[in-house]
Amino acid sequence: MSSAKKLRKGITYYDPSKTYEGYTLLAPQGGYNAWLIDMEGSIVFNWSLLHQPMFARLLPNGNLLYLGREEKNPQGPKFDLYDIHGNLMGAIWEGGFQHLVELDPDNNVVWQYEDPLISHDFYRRENGNTMFIKFSLVPDHIKCKVRGGIPVDPKTPMWCDALNEVNEKGEVIWEWLAYEHLDPEIDILCPLMHRYEWTHMNTCTVLPDGDVLISCRATNFICIIDRKTGNIKWRYGPGELAHQHEPVMLSSGNVLVLDNGEHRLFSEFSYSRVVEVNPKTNTIEWEYKDDPPFAFFTSNQGGCQRLSNGNTLITDSDAGRIFEVTYDSEIVWEYVSPFYGRYVGFPLNNFIYRSYRYAFDYTGLRGKNLDRANYRWVNLVYGTNAFSIDR
Amino acid sequence: MSTPCFARGILTGVTVNMNWKTYNGFTLFTPLGRGTVNLIDMRGRIAHTWEMLHSPVLYEELLPSGSLLYLAHIDNGPLCEFEGSGGKLLEVDWNGDLMWRHEDPYLHHAFCRMPTGNTIVLRWVEIPSAIARRVKGGVPGTEKNGVMFGDSLQEINLEGQVVWEWLSYEHLDPQMYSICPLCSREQWTQANSCATLSNGDILVSFRRINTVCVISRATGRVEWRWGPDEISHQNSVTPLANGNILLFDNGIHANGDHYPFSRVLEVNMANKKMMWEYRDKANANVNFYSGFMSSCQRLPNGNTLICEAKTGRIFEVRHEGEIVWEFVNPSFGYDPMYGNNNVVSRAIRYRADYEGLKGQAVTLPEFGQMIEKTEQTDRKTEMQVKSRLEQLGY
């Protein structure tokens, strides 16, 4: 590997006067742990997970809720992998995230839900219900109307997505099927993606009024779904967004979203950006781009979070990098994950799907012993000085 | 004003130099945005520079005569907003004095000096609307004021006369060569490299249709073609002595839903099989990916010199893929499209006994300015991190 690209690990920059102070939660995809780190990059809390995680959230009750991957018998959309000579090497499944697990601070399982078709995102509502995305097949009479994409064997099924809301007992109390509400004439599949999937949903956030904010990656749009009718109330993206992730509703009513930029129209080079969109006017009111733009590019994953002081926490998944920028686009905190592992079909990597910053006064942190000395030996390797490790 | 990304780009200058495994010589490159052509030695020391006053289009060549042939970008050309637009082809001697020039506002991307002294140039031409309408692909309705541009090749002699011309739209089938669906219809093919083969035919790379063609000099017909569904938006297609071709497959706008990455390929022209590939095995997307420009050069000892434009990184790999020399351009410049960047669009290695370097006074200061600059930057960053850690009590 290139010497110039032996990235520094751990904290590479920190300006305490400008950051939003708190703890950052990350669940490296190649491992079996969720870590809470402080602003200096030291580990202060840890959960060991039963599965390789997609990502984890710290709930206000102090528990951890994560989406875990099942390694045996994955289901859902399957992609064939070919080597450079066109030989079939195997297949990877987009699905296989079948475990939703809630762990208490002592690492005991307090709630669990399983479905072999769960994918990408979940959201715990205040009433204790959990919303999540699952894959569902597109019926043939709609499949033939879907436009765009690269043709595949007509016998191959085409997948889209569904939303399920389950209560604490695990009963499905609300369901939404994408193919019933999307319009094949408007929701056109990216021309460079195979017709294995139509939508590839990757975000489902329940808004306070019960509506759901979703993101469909393959069709390049984000939208708000009316909870009562299932209809799409607002839609934004084609022509502007490219394979985006994690739209977030802000208190101002604007929507923040990570625009990954893979397969971006007219692009001479690949770059990611984070944009804040005003849903009333569908205009972009804020944008973060690196300089040069291609220095920040995460192609297939990533996330963003607006912090209370106006800063934005961004997860650059491909590089295992989490960084905080001010409203003026200045980087004031940067962390590169030193946690390497193997994840699905990828070589050794430090991917992080999403990460979250929690302020010191967040209720979910109450009562936890967050002393970095508890993890003294782990911190010697993975803590602040981890940047000295070359991989 | 945004700050740079701290985790990357800390090391610049020569970062690897296993001089017992490298093909030793001098490396020629021009950072984007300025017209300073650098010739550096294996330790990153500047051996010679030329100030060209115009920013480069992609590259320059050191001719066996010792002069430099350089394609310059001009700001007021009719298509100057197109990527890779040129305007002036300049030949200067070792001291930078102009020896020959060819001006044409439609020049773009590439050129090739033939052994006869004539030069093959690439230029844009308007495609007749009857043909443009039949061209498939691209984003509908995105022609430049209704006009689509295509490529042509011209052979220019020393007097500047056109002695041979080839017009792409006379020989390419608009139904077969379709534009990438993410690209605009301002251009059909966007050629970005050209080279002559031993029989006089011309090897051309067309970026937007993901195709490499051999064009017959006698008839203008496409004698050989390869690429669609195999490569995407390739650059720097060069013929090798063994009859294969070497190319930089940029990988942007590639089919399918995977992490984009670049690779360098050697392809057998007879059976269209890939004979050799370099890609970063550890994390191809993060470690080796430049969607634009970039180059590759097969060296006589079998090593390959690769230029990853995006990061300004020039490196030499052995056949097994081991990196034996690496250099990162430490000089940052500004470009309206690329921002504050250290992009190097192409690089070429010349052996020390190369004919064009003979008799030239190659001055090598004991500690070249590039190295000093690099070490200073490195030390400064390291000091910042250290002092920060000390403040935090580590």
Across the interface, do B291 and A330 touch by the CB < 8 Å criterion? no
So what's the pLDDT on residue A74?
65
Across the interface, do A4 and B11 touch by the CB < 8 Å criterion? yes
Instruction: Quote the CA–CA distance of A155 and A167 in Å, as a whole number.
Output: 36
First to last CA, chain B: 31
DSSP A367: T
pLDDT confidence tier of residue B6, bands split at 50, 70 and 90: low
Q: Mind giving me the DSSP string for A333-345? A: EEEE----EEETT
Across chain B, mean pLDDT equals 89
The three-state secondary structure class of A377 is helix
Smallest Cα distance from A330 to chain B, Å: 5
Instruction: Identify the residue with better confidence: B97 or B257.
Output: B97
pLDDT confidence tier of residue B2, bands split at 50, 70 and 90: very low
Q: Is A298 in contact with A270 (CB distance < 8 Å)?
A: no
Cα separations (Å) of B176 from B124, B170, B194?
20, 14, 21
Phi-psi region of B243 (alpha: psi -120 to 50; beta: other; left: phi over 0): left
pLDDT confidence tier of residue A349, bands split at 50, 70 and 90: confident
So what's the pLDDT on residue B392?
56
Residue among B310, B326, B394 minimizing CB distance to A269: B310
From the list B334, B374, B370, B342, the residue with the least C-alpha distance to B48 is: B370
Instruction: Identify the residue with better confidence: B9 or A29.
Output: A29
Across the interface, do A295 and B3 touch by the CB < 8 Å criterion? no
Q: Is B343 in contact with B332 (CB distance < 8 Å)?
A: no
A349 touches chain B (CB under 8 A): yes
Residue B69: strand pairing partners:
B61, B91
In this model, does residue B203 exceed pLDDT 60? yes
Count, residues in chain B = 394
Q: Which residues, at least 6 apart from B140, have a Cβ–Cβ distance to it below 8 Å? A: B185
Instruction: Quote the CA–CA distance of B184 and B190 in Å, as a whole number.
Output: 11
So what's the pLDDT on residue B224?
96
Establish, for the pair of chains A and B, how many residue pairs have beta carbons separated by less than 8 Å. 167
DSSP A386: G
A290 touches chain B (CB under 8 A): yes
So what's the pLDDT on residue A389?
43
Span A113-161, pLDDT tens digits: 999 889 899 999 999 999 999 999 999 999 999 999 999 888 888 999 9
Find out whether the peptide bond into A139 is cis, omega within 30 degrees of 0.
no
Count, residues in chain A = 391
Across the interface, do B392 and A84 touch by the CB < 8 Å criterion? no
Determine what percent of chain A is predicted with pLDDT higher than 90: 74
Return the HEC string of chain B. CCCCCCCCCCCCEEEEECCCCCCCEEEEEEECCCCEEEEECCCCCEEEEEECCCCEEEEEEECCCCCEEEEEECCCCCCCCCCCECEEEEEECCCCCEEEEEECCCEEEEEEECCCCCEEEEEEEECCHHHHCCCCECCCCCCECCECEEEEEEEECCCCCEEEEEEHHHHCCCCCCCECCCCCCCECCCEEEEEECCCCCEEEEECCCCEEEEECCCCCCEEEEECCCCCCCCEEEEECCCCCEEEEECCCCCCCCCCCCCEEEEECCCCCCEEEEECCCCCHHHHCCCCCCCEEEECCCCCEEEEEHHHCEEEEECCCCCEEEEEECCCCEEECCCEEECCEEEEEEEECCCHHHCCCCCCCCCCCHHHHHHHHHHHHHHHHHHHHHHHCCC
So what's the pLDDT on residue B374?
45
In this model, does residue A323 exceed pLDDT 60? yes
User: Do the bridges between strand A148-150 and strand A189-194 make them parallel or antiparallel, or are there none, so unpaired?
Assistant: parallel
Calculate mean pLDDT across residues B97-113. Answer: 95
A 74-133 residues with CB < 8 A to B = 79, 84-85
Kindly provide the residue ranges of all beta strands, DSSP E only, lying in A155-311, ordered along the sequence. 159-166, 172-177, 189-194, 201-206, 212-216, 221-225, 232-236, 245-249, 255-259, 273-278, 283-288, 303-306
Give phi and psi for A373, each to the nearest 5: -65, -25
Span A163-184, pLDDT tens digits: 999 999 999 999 999 999 999 9
Instruction: Identify the residue with better confidence: B382 or A322.
Output: A322
In this model, does residue A26 exceed pLDDT 60? yes
Span A269-283, pLDDT tens digits: 999 999 999 999 999
pLDDT confidence tier of residue A85, bands split at 50, 70 and 90: very low
Across the interface, do B182 and A292 touch by the CB < 8 Å criterion? no
Residue of B nearest to A86 (CA): B230
Interface mutation target, options A2, A8, A78, A342, chain B, most CBs of B under 10 Å: A2
The gap from C-alpha A65 to its chain's centroid, in whole angstroms, comes to 14
Across the interface, do A1 and B337 touch by the CB < 8 Å criterion? no
Q: Two tokens at A322?
A: 């989490």
Cα separations (Å) of A181 from A61, A161, A186, A187, A379?
35, 11, 11, 10, 49
Q: What is the pTM of this model?
A: 0.90
In this structure, of A93-107, B26-40, B380-394, the range with the lowest mean pLDDT score is: B380-394
So what's the pLDDT on residue A87?
54
Calculate mean pLDDT across residues B33-54. Answer: 89
Instruction: Quote the CA–CA distance of A374 and A377 in Å, as a whole number.
Output: 8
pLDDT confidence tier of residue A90, bands split at 50, 70 and 90: low
Residue among B139, B260, B288 minimizing CB distance to A265: B139
Instruction: Identify the residue with better confidence: B114 or B376.
Output: B114
Determine what percent of chain B is predicted with pLDDT higher than 70: 89
Across the interface, do A387 and B15 touch by the CB < 8 Å criterion? no
So what's the pLDDT on residue B3?
39
Residue of B nearest to A217 (CA): B257
Instruction: Quote the CA–CA distance of B42 and B14 in Å, as a whole number.
Output: 8
Q: Which residues, at least 6 apart from B275, have a Cβ–Cβ distance to it below 8 Å? A: B244, B266, B267, B268
Span B127-168, pLDDT tens digits: 999 999 999 999 999 999 999 999 999 999 999 999 999 999
In this model, does residue B367 exceed pLDDT 70? no
Instruction: Quote the CA–CA distance of B249 and B290 in Å, as a whole number.
Output: 9
From the list A203, A297, A295, the residue with the least C-alpha distance to A255 is: A203
Q: Two tokens at A169?
A: 């007992």
Question: Taking the CA of residue B91 as centre, how many other CA atoms within 13 Å lie in the half-sphere pointing to its CB?
Answer: 18
The three-state secondary structure class of A375 is helix
Instruction: Quote the CA–CA distance of A374 and A351 in Å, as a whole number.
Output: 25
Task: Provide the edge-to-edge strand list for the sheet that holds B211-215.
Answer: B191-196, B202-206, B211-215, B222-226
So what's the pLDDT on residue A73?
63
So what's the pLDDT on residue A316?
95
Smallest Cα distance from A128 to chain B, Å: 35
In this model, does residue B222 exceed pLDDT 50? yes
Residue of B nearest to A336 (CA): B7
In this structure, of A46-50, B110-114, B282-286, the range with the lowest mean pLDDT score is: B282-286
Complex-level ipTM: 0.90
Q: Two tokens at B135?
A: 């061209």
Q: Look up tokens 């090798």; give the residue.
A: B240
Residue A150 host element (H or E): strand A148-150
Give phi and psi for B381, each to the nearest 5: -60, -45
Span A245-271, pLDDT tens digits: 999 999 999 999 999 999 999 988 999
Residue B86: strand pairing partners:
none
Give phi and psi for B237, each to the nearest 5: -85, 120
In this structure, of A52-66, A222-236, B28-42, B296-310, the range with the lowest mean pLDDT score is: B28-42
Q: Look up tokens 């979203």; give the residue.
A: A257
Calculate mean pLDDT across residues A289-309. Answer: 94
Determine what percent of chain A is predicted with pLDDT higher than 70: 90
pLDDT confidence tier of residue B373, bands split at 50, 70 and 90: very low
Give phi and psi for B48, each to the nearest 5: -160, 150
Residue A143 host element (H or E): helix A140-143
Across chain A, mean pLDDT equals 90
Residue among B8, B184, B277 minimizing CB distance to A295: B8
Chain A residues whose beta carbon lies within 8 Å of the beta carbon of residue B136: none
Across the interface, do B274 and A85 touch by the CB < 8 Å criterion? yes
Span A51-75, pLDDT tens digits: 999 999 999 999 999 999 887 766 6
